[in-house]
Structures are given as structure tokens and as C-alpha cells.
Homo-oligomer: A and B are copies of this chain.
Amino acid sequence: MANYERLLRVALGEAPADVVITGGLLVNVLTREIYPATVGICEDTIAYVTGAEDAAVAGAQVVDARGCWLTPGLIDAHMHIESTHATPQHFADAVLPRGVTCVAQDPHEMANVLGLEGVHAMRRAAVGLPLRVLTLASTCVPSVPGMETSGAEFGAAEIDALLDEADVIGLAEVMDFWGVIRQKPRVTEIVKVGRARGALMTGHIRQLGGRELNAYLAAGIDSDHEQLDAAGILARSRLGMTVEICCCQARDTIPAAVEAWRMGGPLDAVVFVTDDIPPQELISAGHLDQGVRRAIQLGMPAAEAVRAATLLPARRLRQYDLGLIAPGRKADILLIDDLNAFHVAATMVNGRWAARGGQMLEPSTSAYAMPESALHSVHVPRLSAEDFAVVGHGSRARARVLAQRGRELKERLLPVRAGQVVWQDQPDLALVSVWHRHGRTQDHASVLLEGCGLQRGALATTYAHDAHNLVVVGRDPGDMAAAANALREAGGGYAAVCGGQVLALAALPVAGILADRPVAEIAVEFDQFCAAAGDLGVSEQPLKLLTSLPLPVVPAFRPTDRGLVDVQRQAFIPAFEFLDEETTNQEAR
């Protein structure tokens, strides 16, 4: 916090500012006006904002901002740093040049791997960075209790403990919305902790409406980032919800937000968020800045678009000193050299320039060392081809086969020879094998997958929502074992193997989901993995195939370390039923 005495003297013009930015156009996200202004900064705080013609410009550093617009730094109200696969330090270096100065992270993935230790690691790794990192307490660890085994389980006690930390500002997306509405004990107790503490409680629902939506809101959870169209955005606003507009490419609701603005006028409870941004997208298209850019290009006035990524998220997050260029607020300021393209020329955080021209002025440093548990998180034995055999008795097996990447389930009768299901001669099949990797059980389960494109070899990852167990998809049991073993040795990541050779390895040695490397380097390795997967036949979204396949909250059938989950019924169904000769004959008749 700036020295109070000096701050006031700088404001009065009795002492020189540390930085004066003059000659630029201020984008006022409170009044939605754009006008010339001079901004004087003392330490981390804006001391004064005066007109363009301020005679008393005096500062250690005077910045000529002619040709530039000044906006507040962007604030991402809901996101997972882990989606970029970088540690907070390298994440910061990737987003600060994009104009993101504050994020409210939900360290949900680290929580699922390492529990409270994972949350604390993500908090502590952010201390001292030029990026402002706030944390929301991950509420759904695991996403669906009983259907998979993640590395940890959070109940009310964990959430209560997290809310004691000053930088933990509320509850992260309460994804178990059915649990809330149906008053299941675990999530109910968690929500009650939030209510009792008056905490911000953020949500995640799908197409909930009517009385069920009312019940979710009555519980006190009043935001969502799954609304996809303008009418829905307006309908939710009417109920007092904060609608989080996702601007990631996988789920871009910016056009809907622009349409809602056209229909309903000024946005009051809409905030732009990223949720998940993969490393390649961050490098190629940007972070929260891409949302502002797209909104402006679709016709939303710039001040309105910037407002939805600055002042409105600051209010939502109850950060009263952020989100506005005004005296007394934190000096988080962007210089924008093309407002319509929302091109960030320079980023200031806490009164210090962090980035210019798309580059960090200096790479961030962090004295924090990830805990030992994070560096040894892949607890699976060394595997062999035999571990990927589907063994059983009888002569045939009725296999329940995932189709359309889990959205459907089909049945196939397959021969059983020498006690193993023979599926490799069916060219459209691959085997999915999910191995618990957190050392809490010995569970692993396999199921066949139709139509993923894989022709040969194997792909594997340790980043698979939400439990982040080891997922191996393959045509060849030996390659599947090799891919698994490669990740076991690398400490996690993505691997592509064929003919016993590792074609690509994107190592994520921190908890099996992060790398302590620049995002750009991670993106290159991810591209290499995707290229290798394409060579093996999986040309369409190989990362998504692996990472979302086991998530037992997504329709309709999902393989986890515990078996094949019928998501609708929240029950296991056998992936293989072994039939003796008689049964097979009966069926044939």
C-alpha cells in the first residue's frame, strides 16, 4: 500500500509522482466515456486523474501516451490457471502482456490431485508475482463422489479452512448443482459454510431453468458461465445472476453477450471470463483480451466491453480498489494502441510497468518451490502389455462400446481367445484404460471406444478431468504400456507412442498437470503431441478426447478408474460381459 502521506502530497501536486501518463485518452468504464486525461501515480496507487492540459505534470517518469487509450487492467473473474498447464509464474508472464492484471483462480485441478496442499501451492506460487492472483475455494473435489477416485475430497471443513485465508475470496463454481438442489449432504454443508460466512458463492449450471434455477439462486449461488444465448443471459440477469461470459474458443459466448447488450441495453451484471484457455490458444489468440476484442469487433462500444472485463468483475469479486482508473484505486493500467483491435501496448500493475509490446519487461521470478508431493504425483506401477489385456472367461464378450466420444453407448459381441477379448481386428475400435494414479487405490478399468480415429500406437495423459487419473487410449497393448511408462517417468503430461517409440512427450511434471516452463514452450510440445496423434489417426482434438473422456458429469457414458459410468443414472455398468458358448448360441438363435 502506498505511503499515505506521500500519496496525498502527490495528489495535491506538492510532491512529484512516480509515474505520470499524459496525452492519452482515458476509457472511463464507470461513465462509459472516453476523453483526454493525465494520470499521476504514487507507488502502487493512482494519486490523481486530471484533464489533458495539466500544467502540474511532474513525475520521476513521464510517459507520453499520445495515440494510446488508457484502460484499467483486465480482471478475469473465473478461470483455472491449470488449463494453460503453466505454473502461476509462467502463466503471469503469458497473460500480463495481454493486459490481464488480476485473475480469480479456481485451482480445481490441483485440488483434485493434491487436495488442500494443491490449493495452497497455487496460492503460494502466486505470491510476489506482478499478476494479482485471488483464489476461489474449489467446491467440487471430486466432481461426483463415488464415481471416480481423485487425489482428495473436500468437505465443509476444507472450505471453511480455505475461507480463513485473506486471498481466498469466496466459493468457486459449485458445479454439483443437482446436489445443491436435491440437498445432498456434502455440497449442502459446503454451501452452508459459504452462507454462514457471507462469502461470495459462484456457480456452474447447465440448462437449468424455472424453479430449479430459482432454488440454486435461493441457496445463494448467483453466477454461471454456461449460458449460451442472449435471451438466456437476459433471463438470468432478471433473477439477479451475474452472467459470466466465456470468451475461450471452446465456448465463446461473446456474440451472445453482444446480442444481449443490443436487446437489453447497458450491461450491469455481466462479466467476461476465460474459464479454460489451453496453452496454444493463449499464445495464438490471447486470454481475456480476446473477449474484449471480439465484443468490440461485434459492435459493442469499447467502454462497455472493457467495463465487462474490468469494473464489473472488480465489483463482483468485491475488490473495491480495482477496475477503474481513478484516484485511490490501484494503478493497474493498460496502454492500448488500437482500441478497436484492443491491442495492448503496455501493462502496468501496482504502478510498475510489467510488459510492453507483447513482452514482459523482465520475466517473473518466484522463490516458491512446489512441494515434493507435486513432483511425485504419478503413483502407478510400471506397466506392461499384459496390463492392457481385457481378460475374461468364456468364448465371447458383450462389450459396451463408447461411441461419439462418450455421448452414446453401443454393444458389440467380440470373440474371447486364450482368456482375452480380441478387439484389435476391428479397425474402428481403441481401448481406453483409466488408472488411478494418486496412490489411494489400485483401481483401473478399461472400456472400448469406437470411432476416435486412432489407427495404431497409443496416447496417454495424466490431465483428465476431474480426477486427473492416468488415461491411456490405444490400439496396441505394448504401446499403451510404453505411453503409460513414459508419463510415469516424466511425472505426467501427454505422450504419443507407436511401435514402442515415444513420438511426442509433453512433460507436465508438477502434479502431472503443470510444467514450470514458459507457456509458449508448453504450447510447442502440445502441438507436437497433437501432430503425433494426428499421425496415429486422431486428427480432431486429441487433447480434448483424452481430457474430457473420463469426466462423469458430462453426458452420457464415461470411463473412470472405477469403471464405466452411466452419467444420467450415476451408476456403474459393466464394460464387458463374458458369455459362455451356450449363451452365445442362445443369442444367435
> Which residues of chain A have a CB within 8 Å of any CB of chain B?
1, 4-5, 7-8, 10-13, 28, 30-33, 42, 45-50, 56, 180-181, 183, 188, 191-192, 195, 198, 200, 210-212, 214-215, 217-220, 222, 234, 237-240, 264-266, 268-269, 315, 318, 320-321, 324, 326-329
Write the nearest CB–CB distance from A463 to chain B, whole angstroms: 35
* A56 contacts across to B, CB distance below 8 A: 211
* A181 contacts across to B, CB distance below 8 A: 8, 12
Write the nearest CB–CB distance from A409 to chain B, whole angstroms: 31
Partner of A49, one of B11, B214, B268: B214
How far does the alpha carbon of A91 sit from the alpha carbon of B7 in the complex, in Å? Answer: 42
Q: Are B48 and A8 in contact (CB under 8 A)?
A: no
How far does the alpha carbon of A549 sit from the alpha carbon of B504 in the complex, in Å? Answer: 85
Partner of A212, one of B5, B12, B32, B212: B12
A49, closest chain B residue (CB): B239
A210, closest chain B residue (CB): B50
A and B contact pairs by CB, cutoff 8 A, 17 listed: A7-B218, A8-B183, A10-B218, A12-B215, A13-B211, A28-B238, A31-B268, A47-B214, A48-B211, A48-B214, A50-B210, A217-B326, A218-B327, A222-B328, A239-B326, A240-B328, A265-B266
Q: Are A219 and B328 in contact (CB under 8 A)?
A: yes
How far does the alpha carbon of A396 sit from the alpha carbon of B264 in the complex, in Å? Answer: 76
* A46 contacts across to B, CB distance below 8 A: 218
How far does the alpha carbon of A386 sit from the alpha carbon of B509 in the complex, in Å? Answer: 93
How far does the alpha carbon of A222 sit from the alpha carbon of B49 in the complex, in Å? Answer: 14
One complex includes copies of this chain to the number of 2
Q: A4-B195, A31-B234, A47-B214 are in contact. List 12 more A-B contacts (CB 8 A).
A: A8-B183, A11-B215, A11-B217, A12-B214, A12-B215, A31-B268, A48-B218, A49-B239, A50-B210, A50-B214, A198-B320, A218-B328
Write the nearest CB–CB distance from A27 to chain B, whole angstroms: 12
A35, closest chain B residue (CB): B238
Partner of A329, one of B1, B11, B240, B321: B240
Write the nearest CB–CB distance from A156 to chain B, whole angstroms: 13
* A268 contacts across to B, CB distance below 8 A: 30-31
* A200 contacts across to B, CB distance below 8 A: 320
A323, closest chain B residue (CB): B240
Partner of A183, one of B5, B10, B215, B239: B5
How far does the alpha carbon of A212 sit from the alpha carbon of B11 in the complex, in Å? Answer: 7
Partner of A4, one of B28, B192, B238, B264: B192
Q: Are A30 and B238 in contact (CB under 8 A)?
A: yes
How far does the alpha carbon of A436 sit from the alpha carbon of B265 in the complex, in Å? Answer: 57
How far does the alpha carbon of A64 sit from the alpha carbon of B47 in the complex, in Å? Answer: 54
Write the nearest CB–CB distance from A160 to chain B, whole angstroms: 16
Q: Are B329 and A45 in contact (CB under 8 A)?
A: no
Write the nearest CB–CB distance from A176 to chain B, whole angstroms: 14
A interface, over-half SS: mixed
A37, closest chain B residue (CB): B238
A42, closest chain B residue (CB): B218
* A320 contacts across to B, CB distance below 8 A: 198, 200
Q: A45-B218, A50-B210 are known contacts. Are A238 and B13 too (CB-CB below 8 A)? A: no
* A11 contacts across to B, CB distance below 8 A: 211, 214-215, 217-218
Write the nearest CB–CB distance from A284 to chain B, whole angstroms: 35
Q: Are A30 and B318 in contact (CB under 8 A)?
A: no
How far does the alpha carbon of A68 sit from the alpha carbon of B237 in the complex, in Å? Answer: 23
* A269 contacts across to B, CB distance below 8 A: 30
How far does the alpha carbon of A31 sit from the alpha carbon of B236 in the complex, in Å? Answer: 10
Please list the 3 inter-chain residue pairs (A to B) with the smallest Cβ-Cβ separation, ordered nearest first.
Answer: A240-B326, A11-B215, A48-B214
Write the nearest CB–CB distance from A317 to chain B, whole angstroms: 12
How far does the alpha carbon of A215 sit from the alpha carbon of B2 in the complex, in Å? Answer: 13
How far does the alpha carbon of A1 sit from the alpha carbon of B4 in the complex, in Å? Answer: 40
Q: Are B33 and A238 in contact (CB under 8 A)?
A: yes
Q: Are A239 and B33 in contact (CB under 8 A)?
A: no
Q: A211-B13, A329-B240 are known contacts. Are A219 and B49 too (CB-CB below 8 A)? A: no
Write the nearest CB–CB distance from A75 to chain B, whole angstroms: 15
* A211 contacts across to B, CB distance below 8 A: 11-13, 48, 50, 56
How far does the alpha carbon of A261 sit from the alpha carbon of B540 in the complex, in Å? Answer: 53
A201, closest chain B residue (CB): B328
Q: A218-B11, A264-B31 are known contacts. Are A315 and B318 too (CB-CB below 8 A)? A: no
How far does the alpha carbon of A440 sit from the alpha carbon of B268 in the complex, in Å? Answer: 52
* A180 contacts across to B, CB distance below 8 A: 8
Q: Are B218 and A30 in contact (CB under 8 A)?
A: no
Q: Are B240 and A327 in contact (CB under 8 A)?
A: yes
A221, closest chain B residue (CB): B328
How far does the alpha carbon of A1 sit from the alpha carbon of B32 in the complex, in Å? Answer: 38
* A188 contacts across to B, CB distance below 8 A: 4
* A238 contacts across to B, CB distance below 8 A: 28, 30-31, 33, 49, 326
How far does the alpha carbon of A73 sit from the alpha carbon of B163 in the complex, in Å? Answer: 31
How far does the alpha carbon of A480 sit from the alpha carbon of B239 in the complex, in Å? Answer: 62
* A239 contacts across to B, CB distance below 8 A: 49, 326-327
Write the nearest CB–CB distance from A250 to chain B, whole angstroms: 29
How far does the alpha carbon of A248 sit from the alpha carbon of B68 in the complex, in Å? Answer: 44
Q: A4-B219, A8-B183, A48-B211 are known contacts. Are A32 and B328 too (CB-CB below 8 A)? A: no
From A1, A12, A56, A265, name the one whose CB has the most chain B CB atoms within 10 angstroms. Answer: A12
